[in-house]
Amino acid sequence: MSDAVAPDNTPTSNPIMKKALLWSALVAVAIAVIGATLGGLVAGVPGIAGALLGAALALVFMGITAASILLGNRFAQGEQFVGIFFGIVLGGWLLKLVLFIAVVAILRGQEWFDSVVLFICLVAGVLGSLTVDVIVAARSRMPYVSDAKLPTASSE
């Protein structure tokens, strides 16, 4: 295939983003299981709650970026693709920032979860997300060309 658009006109990055979403979900489940086990041993029920909350937040934050790229790719065939695509991705990042600030403000001072376990699970989620992104991108068979089509030379 000479360009990076599949025969059904979907960008070739879509399977990569879907795979990243799947692996991110698996990482979040692993963080939840391991974090809840260790958090329960260290801090009891608040440790379990902190681990599960941290894993859920990690999953949401990991998913927003890949989901925004998949949403932006829906406009790949349009004339305004680049502007719409980066607007959607930037909107996803802004959503994550606002969501993080809101969650921190809401959870501040709550006693029902262990904040240290929550923090450790969030850090594990960030590191897991970066690892998933690197592994999925490194193992992908994405062509080194762009999805954009260049204008053809005129026959003047």
In this prediction the pTM is 0.77
- Greater model confidence, 6 or 26: 26
Query: What tens digit of pLDDT does each residue of 23-65 get?
Result: 999 999 999 999 999 999 999 999 999 999 999 999 999 889 8
Please spell the DSSP secondary structure of 11-53, one letter per residue: BTHHHHHHHHHHHHHHHHHHHHHHHHHHHHHHHSHHHHHHHHH
User: Sign (positive/negative) of CA torsion 57, 98, 129, 24?
Assistant: positive
Q: Give the number of C-alpha atoms closer than 13 A to the C-alpha of residue 56, restricted to the C-beta side.
A: 9
Among candidate residues 4, 69, 62, the one with its CA nearest the CA of residue 30: 62
* Residues 143-153 pLDDT 10s: 666 656 666 77
Question: pLDDT tens-digit profile of 81-118?
Answer: 788 888 999 999 999 999 999 998 999 988 999 999 99
Which stretches within 44-74 are classed as H helix?
45-73
CB-based contact 73:89 (threshold 8 Å): no
Tally helices (H) and strands (E) across the chain: 4, 0
